[in-house]
Structure 1
Amino acid sequence: MPRFAANLSMMFNEVPFLDRFASARAAGFEGVEFLFPYEFPADELRKRLNGEGLTQALFNLPPGDWAKGERGMASLPGRQQEFRDSVKKALDYAATLNCRLLHCMAGLVPAEVSLTTATSVYAANLAWAAEQAVPAGVKLVIEPINHRDMPGYFLNTQAQGADIIAAIGSDRIGLQFDVYHVQVTEGDITKRMERYMPVIAHMQIADVPARNEPGTGEIGWSYVFHRMDELNYQGWVGCEYRPAGDTVAGLSWRERFAR
């Protein structure tokens, strides 16, 4: 059975964020992930993890100005120093949280920026970030995000991600394979899983089309989870979905599909 990590940015919204660690543990999770930790002191988050015996599986680098619509800076020309500062900040949090994976968001490419320029900036930023992360025992991951939820996002397909990883080195950067984004953008989930498993460092799940919990949409989850096991995937599977109703009531999918 896959190892599931609760995404505390999206699940257990019935309680304040810092109380979601306890809620996740009470629901049987041993790992957690979230989008961004930066509004809370790292020591306070470490305290919550320790208190519940939880592992921090993943979180994201600072994305720029999220409230104004920014979704990462790695491919944006003119933002290189801000990107480097964000890497350092994320690595400080990762050290305190004992987190070994950091998701680096590519960003929304402005219309006036050419794909060639964005690709060059992206590759240089990722290479620099990996140089900082590896000595700290941290691996960067990059996630292709679907065109419907995030129009204009630089990275859309698993092939794009795999090519970038091949250029920089799979020992330094891994692929974040989100079943939801794969299904929306490309389909053929398990075949893509098979093809890219050598570079997959983290996986996430949500059903399609509404991004709710497994069993609320079109994906055949029993088979997807079975293939994860058959392919010997050893990492965490982040539950990055929006519960259709009460979070705990919706967790019945684990018995239906994963066991």
Structure 2
Amino acid sequence: MKLSANLGFLWRELPLPEAIRAAKRAGFDAVECHFPFDVPTDEARAALDETGLPMLGLNTRPGEDGEFGLAALPDREADARAAIEQALDYAKATGCRAVHVMAGKPDDSARADAAFRANLSHACELAGNTTILIEPINTRDVPGYHLATIEQAAEIVSALGYPNLKIMADCYHLQIMGGDLLRRIEKHLPMIGHVQIAAVPSRGRPDEGELNYPWIAAALRDMGYEGYFGAEYRPDGPTEDSLGWMGMLQSR
């Protein structure tokens, strides 16, 4: 079992290079982040090289005033593509493997879908060896988010047909948006590029709540998933005090 620390939620009080080092000390196998752009790439790369941890992913910037992404906003193509290019540049400079292109919360869903697909095509064509991820996000936490279900994400991936376009399957969001988690992941497994975990409904540490992650992780391994499990949960105190769950997954 390979575990990745999402530094958007874990060790948030530390500068990114120090958070990477903290993840290494805690026993994680990789890291991922949200918006690292204020940290010079050479500082992030130095911490990654020092620890030997791969950086699995980062997000495009979310925009302003709660936009939660730009790629599905009609008439914002220039902003969306600048955000994509910024994220890809950062990823390539740090050796980060994937970029999550955030869709946003558009008003016009038909025009938004066209914009999203065009911007994803642009991202995939620029990405080279970098994977482009899209993530279904639940509409309870983020009302109006353009991409809400794994089925919608799978249709986009299939329609666009780029081999470097994959789904980020966040179990927290997927369970809220439809349940039947394991069967829905299994159905779309060839399109899934990364899996994330957190408790449902609290988004706390993954050894609480309604999802049995040891069982889910073992089942996904049996299905052939060979990737990492990204810990994207909100600790209820210091991150170090929330890590007791790691042993139950690392033994799988």
What's the TM-score, normalizing by structure 1?
0.93
State the 1:18 CA deviation.
Answer: 3.2
Structure 1 residues 43 and 218 mapped into 2: Cα distance closer, same or farther (>3 Å)? same
| 1:174-202 Cα shifts (integer Å, max 9, x gaps) | 00000000111111111111101010001
Tell me how far apart the structure 2 counterparts of residues 244 and 182 of structure 1 sit (CA, whole Å): 22
State the 1:53 CA deviation.
Answer: 1.4
Counting only pairs closer than 5 Å after superposition, residues 15-94 of structure 1 correspond to structure 2 as: 15-65=14-64, 68-94=65-91
Contact 1:170 1:199 in 2 (8 A): no
- Secondary structure at the residue paired with 2:56? strand
After TM superposition, the structure 1 stretch with the greater mean CA deviation from structure 2, 159-168 or 18-27, is 18-27
**Match for residue 190 of structure 2?**
198
**Match for residue 124 of structure 1?**
118
Instruction: Please give the root-mean-square deviation of Cα atoms over the aligned residues, in Å.
Output: 1.3
Counting only pairs closer than 5 Å after superposition, residues 58-207 of structure 1 correspond to structure 2 as: 58-65=57-64, 68-110=65-107, 113=108, 115-133=109-127, 136-207=128-199
Query: Gaps spanning 5+ residues in structure 1: where?
Result: none
Tell me how far apart the structure 2 counterparts of residues 86 and 14 of structure 1 sit (CA, whole Å): 25
State the 1:244 CA deviation.
Answer: 2.5
Contact 1:123 1:164 in 2 (8 A): yes
Query: Gaps spanning 5+ residues in structure 2: where?
Result: none
Structure 1 residues 213 and 170 mapped into 2: Cα distance closer, same or farther (>3 Å)? farther
Amino acid at match of 2:142: M
Tell me how far apart the structure 2 counterparts of residues 246 and 90 of structure 1 sit (CA, whole Å): 29
What's the TM-score, normalizing by structure 2?
0.95
Contact 1:9 1:17 in 2 (8 A): no
| 1:58-91 Cα shifts (integer Å, max 9, x gaps) | 00112212xx212111110111011111121111
Tell me how far apart the structure 1 counterparts of residues 14 and 190 of structure 2 sit (CA, whole Å): 38
Contact 1:175 1:201 in 2 (8 A): yes
**Match for residue 8 of structure 1?**
7
| 1:72-125 Cα shifts (integer Å, max 9, x gaps) | 111101110111111211111111111121100110112xx2x21111111111
State the 1:172 CA deviation.
Answer: 2.8
State the 1:225 CA deviation.
Answer: 0.9
Tell me how far apart the structure 2 counterparts of residues 62 and 80 of structure 1 sit (CA, whole Å): 14
Tell me how far apart the structure 2 counterparts of residues 87 and 93 of structure 1 sit (CA, whole Å): 10
State the 1:170 CA deviation.
Answer: 4.8
Structure 1 residues 91 and 13 mapped into 2: Cα distance closer, same or farther (>3 Å)? closer
State the 1:258 CA deviation.
Answer: 4.3
Amino acid at match of 2:170: D
Contact 1:33 1:56 in 2 (8 A): yes
| 1:198-249 Cα shifts (integer Å, max 9, x gaps) | 1000111101111011112111112111112111212222111011233223
| 1:136-169 Cα shifts (integer Å, max 9, x gaps) | 3111010000011100000000000000000111
State the 1:20 CA deviation.
Answer: 0.9
| 1:17-48 Cα shifts (integer Å, max 9, x gaps) | 43111110000112100101111111111111
Contact 1:11 1:241 in 2 (8 A): yes
